[in-house]
Structures are given as structure tokens and as C-alpha cells.
Chains A and B, each alone.
Chain A
Amino acid sequence: MLSITPMKKVTMTKRTLVALVSICVAALVLSACGSSSSRGSSSSLTLVAYSTPQPAFEKLIPAFQATAEGKGVSFKQSYGPSGEQSRAVSNGLHADVVDFSLEGDVERLVKAGLVSSDWNQNATHGFVTDSVAVIIVRKGNPKHIKDWSDLVKPGVQVVTPNPFTSGGARWNVMAAYGAQLKEGKTPAQAQEYLKAMFANVVSQDSSARNALQTFVSGRGDALIDYENEAITDQRKGQPIEYVIPKDTILIQNPVAVVGKGSGSATAQKFVDYLISPAGQAIWAAQGYRPVISAVPGAHFPTPAGLFTIDTLGGWKKVTDEFFAPETGIVTKIEESQGVSTAK
């Protein structure tokens, strides 16, 4: 039962082993300290953003680096779901500039003391891009979906991210809701609409990106999403079209400088560039509606019934009323769907 091996010359001594272990531990510690010290240089900016504008930043960053202010500035970039990124920054992920999909994601950082409370006191109220909620359909629009009312028709399958994990999904829900109010419905009727719409939802992925993946993989007839996302993906060759409903919400994406350290002066210059005419022109070319006026090359149709979240009372009120964990209107709708249609 014993496997006795012939005596070999032991080439590794106890000391060598201890040395090896120390090297491993040292590597670990060094990489910890190293990462925290390499941040000091003012010619490196860390951008933490939501996933969608990545292709836009691929153009914006080199353009910024070609300007006088941006010369010699290197960038580190991180992209992910907006809420997740915001939470990461508040939990310690280093960032110099943040670009999120929801104002609330920046407010979280203000609360954490990372972004100064006057971040939105500039000319564009803190926003860097606008967009509108649209309905993405299959190429050729086989189900002839033109407006919000088509989403509650029987047999229409809707895809939207889960509004409790995706900030973007909340824009979608409020767009649909607000459109109903714009059409003259009462709040109660608008809520009935939401219930009917959710009954048609066949997939609620955790993020807008995942929802897009789901739709593109063949699930559903309609995906509620942002206009710029639709434009970007159409350009990437996805077989989709999009419909801008008559009444829809103006989506406003915020950008902010994080921290007051050595990098923040450069960060502010970058943010200034993003809202400058040159920067906005690049955004427009990527499908984002500019936040300043008179940007060349920006031809975006304005929906007749465009409204903002302020029309509905602002995000604080809306979050409480619609998305509160137990009492929210949408929360209750989701629960009622689950209970009555449980397989």
C-alpha cells in the first residue's frame, strides 16, 4: 500500500520555499500598493462610464488628446451597467470622470462625498448627452409597431430590462407611462396600461445591454431602449429598426468630475471638452442628441410630445412612487404578474 519512492536529492530547501511564498505575498501586496500610487500623476484620467457610449469615447478621447488641453493625457476606461459602475465608484473604484445613464447614479456619488454638490450648476445642468426612448423592432417591422399602444396588443412580445436592476429600464417605464398621460389618460388608466404592457414582457434582463442581447438573439418583437443605442447597433449591422413614438421622454445622461485631487483639473478640462461644440459634434455623429444648441451635423427629429422626467415630478418623486421596494406602483405590478401567471 505504501509507495516508497527512491531518495532523491532534495533541491529545494525550506528557505527556498519560504522565499517563494514571500514572493507570492509580496507580489500581492505590491500590486495593491502599486495600483494606489500610480494614480497620483495628473496626466492620466480614469473614466468610469456606462456601457453604451464606449464607441463614442473611442472617438472622443483621441480627439481630446489632439487638443492643447488634452495633450499627453492618457486614459484608463471602464464600462459596465450604469448602476453597477456608480456603486463601484462609491465603494472605492477610482475614477476621475464619470458618465452615467441616470442622474441618480451621480447623486449617489454626491452623497458619498465623491462628487461636489454643485456638479450640475453648469451651462448644461450637468448633462452631456440627450436621447429619447424609442421602440426597437425587427428589420422590416413585421408586426407594424408604431407606438406605445401597439405594445399592449395581444401577441406582441416586449423586451425591457428589469427596472429594479437597470436604471435605463426606469427611463423606459416612465416614457411609456408619461406618454399615456400625454394622450390624456388619467394616472389610473396609465397604470392599467403599464400592467398590460408588463403582461406582454417576455424578458427582463438585468441590464439594458443584456436586454439588447436578448432581443438581438431573437427574443421578442419590440425592445424599449434609447435612441442612441438603436443608432449605434444599427450601424454595427444589427438587423433592427427603431420607431420614435409621438410622445416620449427626453433621456438626459449626466457627466461629472470625481474628487478634488490632482487629476480633477484635467478631468474638468475633459468634461468641458465633452460639452464643447467640437465634442458635441462627435457625440451627434454617434447618435446622441446634443445638449447645446447649433451643433453641425445633428439632425434629430423632435417628437411632438416630448417630455422630461420633471414633467412627471422628478426622479426622487418617481422613484418613491413607482419603484419603492414594497409600495411602488411598478413593484406591485411585477408582483401581481408573478402571482397570477406563475407557471
Chain B
Amino acid sequence: MSPLPNSGATVAVRRPRASIVGARGGSVLGKGLLGIYLSVLVLLPVAALLAKSGTGGASQLWREISSPEAVAAIKLTLIVSAIVVAVNAVFGTIIAWVLVRDEFPGKKIVNALIDLPFALPTIVAGVVLLALYGKGSPVGIDVAFTRTAIALALLFVTLPFVVRSVQPVLHELDVSMEEAAESLGAGPLTVLRRIVLPSLTPAIISGVALSFARAVGEFGSLVLITGNLPFKTEVGSVYVFGQIQNENLPAAAAVSVVLLAAALVVLAALTLLSRWRSKHVL
């Protein structure tokens, strides 16, 4: 059974012997360079961010976070992201299913296009979504500057995550289990519920975690399409941007930390969940 890429599920691995670790773990110089790189890129900026958010002490931090506009922005971000990842979980699995189990002309092209939202710059996505789903839309849908627009943009940019997470697992799935269940009289829904989904769940969860993290932080595609109405269509990242422009750096940093924490909590929780499941299911 080959390990699942990116699924977070652990598979038994032969532990390297101590003598290898000395050589494999890398020289001190190597570790040092890696450490510097990580510090310059991640540790230092994040530390500066945390420090800035705490400049006025805990009470000011709380005040910034609990300002009505900030709360509204955070709430909107979390709620819309949650809805979007739920939709992604369903449709992403369906799409992965169709791409693995079905055959139709043009399937290869469709399969390749799934990754497009990942590779496309977010500003281009925003420009195009505005043209497509705003007034003058050739498809006749006008939802620009509403919360639907936010959901649409987020659905676009998070499309690949669940699909790409589920696909490899589905590919490796043994169909004979399903066939056996059917021959024993199980209906297709039961097969789905009892056989297929449990195997897919870790992958779906992994994809959901990535989608959520991406959705919470999304900025470029939302800047043009959402109208940025405070309390109505202003998301967390746009609020942070606004506070930066307002020179209110502690407020920007504070809300940034909240958004970051939300994404991290979800990432960590879902990773733990999938690890727990894989221990108990496999």
C-alpha cells in the first residue's frame, strides 16, 4: 500500500539507524543555513507581527479585535470560508470521482484545468470574475459586490485543493470492495457511505483544511469584486489592508493574528483528526 501524498495519514516507516542520522540529518552548516533561511522568511516577520499586535498591551489588543468593524469582518470571513469549504468538500469529491471513475471526451483537458485557479494570479481571477458575474455578464448572472460574489471568488481559488487531495486516494482505491458490497445487496448509497467515504475522508479533510486556510487569507481576487462595504462585504484581509492604509498598524496586526490563528487552529485540528481517523480506521 503506497503512502498517500499530502494526506497527513501516517504509514509505518522503517526508522533509520542512528549512524545514518548523523550523516543524513545534515551537517551543522546545512542546518544553520536552513535555520537562517527559515528565520529570515518566516520567524522574523511573524515575530515582528506578533510584537506589533501586542504593542499596546493585551487590553489594546482586545479593543482592536473587538471593534465592531473588525468583528464583522472576521465573522464574515470565517462564515463564508466555512460555507465555501463545505461546498468544496461535496463538489470537490464529486469532481474527483468523475475524473477518476468516468470517461468522456476532453477529460484530460478538464483534469489539467483543475489546477488553473492555483496557477492564476489572484488579481487576474478578480478581474475576470468581475467581468463574468457582474453587470453586463454574458452568462446573465449579476452578483458583484454581494456576499455571493465573495463566495464565488473563494470557490474559484480553492477549487483544486479537495479535488487534488481526493484524486490520488480514489485512484488507489480497490474497487473489489465496492463490488463485493454490491453483490451482497448493498445499494449504491450504502456502498458510498460505508465503503468509499470512510477511505476518502482523510483526503477530503486534508483538502478542506487547505481550502479553509486559503479562503481565510484570500485577498487579490476579492479586492475588485466585493465592494468592500464595512459590515456587509468587507472581509478580514481587506480590513487588514484598510487598517494598514489608515496607519493603524496595531489594529492591522491584531486582526491578522486572529485570522492566522483561525486558519492554524483549523489546520491543526483537521490534521489531528485525520491522524486519529487513520489510526482507528485502517
Contact = CB atoms under 8 A, between A and B. Distances in A.
Question: Direct contact between A and B in the complex (CB less than 8 angstroms)?
Answer: yes
Interface of A: 1, 81, 83-84, 87, 108, 162, 164-166, 201-206, 210, 213-214, 217-219, 325-326, 334-335, 337-339, 341-343
A204 B134 contact: no
Given A218-B135, A334-B69, A335-B69, 19 more contacts: A87-B244, A162-B228, A164-B242, A202-B145, A202-B227, A203-B229, A204-B227, A205-B227, A206-B228, A206-B242, A217-B130, A217-B135, A218-B142, A218-B144, A334-B230, A338-B69, A341-B231, A342-B231, A343-B147
A204 B231 CA distance: 11
Contacts of B67: 325-326
Contacts of A201: 229
Given A83-B245, A206-B241, A162 B230 contact: yes
Contacts of A166: 245
B248 to A, nearest CB: 7
A219 B134 contact: yes
Nearest to B33: A21
A214 B227 contact: yes
Dominant SS among interface residues on chain B: loop
A201 B131 CA distance: 22
Nearest to B3: A1
A101 to B, nearest CB: 13
Given A165-B246, A204-B230, A218-B136, A338 B72 contact: yes
Interface in B101-139: 130-131, 134-136
A202 B229 CA distance: 7
B155 to A, nearest CB: 19
Nearest to A108: B247
Contacts of A219: 134-135, 144-145, 227
25 contacts: A84-B245, A162-B242, A164-B230, A165-B241, A202-B227, A202-B229, A204-B230, A206-B238, A210-B223, A210-B224, A210-B228, A213-B224, A218-B135, A218-B136, A219-B135, A219-B144, A219-B145, A219-B227, A335-B69, A338-B231, A338-B232, A339-B68, A341-B231, A343-B147, A343-B232
A210 B144 CA distance: 13
List 5 A-B pairs, minimum CB-CB distance, nearest first. Answer: A218-B135, A338-B231, A203-B227, A165-B242, A165-B245
Contact of B136 (A165, A217, A339): A217
A77 B131 CA distance: 29
Chain A CB within 10 Å — which of B134, B227, B229, B247 has the most? B227
Given A213-B224, A219-B134, A219-B135, A339 B231 contact: yes
Interface of B: 2, 67-69, 72, 130-131, 134-136, 142, 144-145, 147, 223-224, 227-232, 238, 241-242, 244-248
B145 A203 contact: yes
A331 B269 CA distance: 38
A214 B242 contact: no
A334 B248 CA distance: 18
A124 to B, nearest CB: 27
A202 B149 CA distance: 14
B68 A335 contact: yes
Nearest to A217: B134
Contacts of B134: 217-219
Nearest to A82: B245
Nearest to B249: A87
B231 to A, nearest CB: 3
Contacts of A1: 2
B232 A81 contact: no
Nearest to A323: B246
A87 B158 CA distance: 32
Nearest to B142: A218
Contacts of B229: 201-204
B9 to A, nearest CB: 17
Best-surrounded residue of B2, B134, B232, B247 (most CB of chain A within 10 A): B232
B209 to A, nearest CB: 28
Contacts of A214: 145, 227
Nearest to B247: A87
Contacts of A204: 227-230
A338 B230 contact: yes
Nearest to A21: B33
Contact of B68 (A84, A108, A164, A338): A338
Contacts of B248: 325
Given A87-B247, A334-B230, A342-B231, A217 B242 contact: no
Contacts of A341: 231-232
Nearest to A1: B2
B227 A164 contact: no
Contacts of B245: 81, 83-84, 87, 165-166, 206
Nearest to A219: B145
A203 B228 contact: yes
Contacts of B147: 343
A217 B72 contact: no
Contacts of A335: 68-69, 231
A324 to B, nearest CB: 11
A166 B244 CA distance: 12
Nearest to A203: B227
B12 to A, nearest CB: 12
Contacts of A203: 145, 227-229
Nearest to A343: B232
Nearest to A205: B228
A319 to B, nearest CB: 11
Contacts of B224: 210, 213
B144 A217 contact: yes
